[in-house]
Structure 1
Amino acid sequence: MPRPKSTFDDVREFEFREPEEVLETDTMYTVYEIARLLQGVDVDRELDAATESVFLDWAIPWMLDNEAQFCFAEPNDEESPGFYGLRD
């Protein structure tokens, strides 16, 4: 249900950081790790499924919007996620 802005204590500008601000240039990450980093959460932190799903909802469009800056590496096996990093 929509709400008036006046009902919120904190309304901020909507902006995403650039990939270089989030990722190390010499490291490859899973989409789950990228999602955590975008939210300022340690990559090793355990998250409940609902929170991880919300984080992914932010990360995937961000990655697609910045796709020209990413490279991809195949997963270790069919059940593991792939890895993404910054292009050279």
Structure 2
Amino acid sequence: MPVSKSEFETLYPADFYTPPELLDEDEMYTVYEIARLLQELDPDAELEPQTEDILLDWAIPWIMVHADDLVVAEPRDDDEPGYYGVNTAE
């Protein structure tokens, strides 16, 4: 159900990083690492599963919106996720 803006003490602009601002162009990242970086956390930070789920709610749409600016690599093993990186091809 919608909530009135007046119920919030502070409202912030929805200003998200671009892939080159967030990711090192020579590195590949999992969606979990991107989720942490979007919250200015270390990519290897330990998180509770519930917290990680919330961060993924931000990371997955971010990846979709920036798909044209990203490259994707398949997982190296069956038990790991895929990887994303900055698309540096011209």
Q: Calculate the TM-score normalised by the size of structure 1.
A: 0.91
Distance 1:58 1:66 in 2: 13
Q: In the TM superposition, what is the alpha-carbon distance from 1:56 to its structure 2 partner? A: 0.6
Deviates more, 1:13-22 or 1:35-44: 13-22
Q: How many percent of aligned residue pairs carry the same amino acid? A: 49
Residue equivalent to 1:53: 53
Distance 1:3 1:72 in 2: 37
Correspondence 1:27-66 to 2 at 5 A: 27-66=27-66
Distance 2:33 2:77 in 1: 18
Q: In the TM superposition, what is the alpha-carbon distance from 1:44 to its structure 2 partner? A: 1.1
- Secondary structure of 1:72 counterpart: strand
Q: List alignment gaps of at least 5 residues for structure 2.
A: none
Q: In the TM superposition, what is the alpha-carbon distance from 1:83 to its structure 2 partner? A: 1.0
Residue equivalent to 2:14: 14
Q: List alignment gaps of at least 5 residues for structure 1.
A: none
Q: Calculate the TM-score normalised by the size of structure 2.
A: 0.89
Deviates more, 1:3-12 or 1:33-42: 3-12
The letter of the residue matching 1:63 is I
Q: In the TM superposition, what is the alpha-carbon distance from 1:72 to its structure 2 partner? A: 1.2
- Secondary structure of 2:34 counterpart: helix
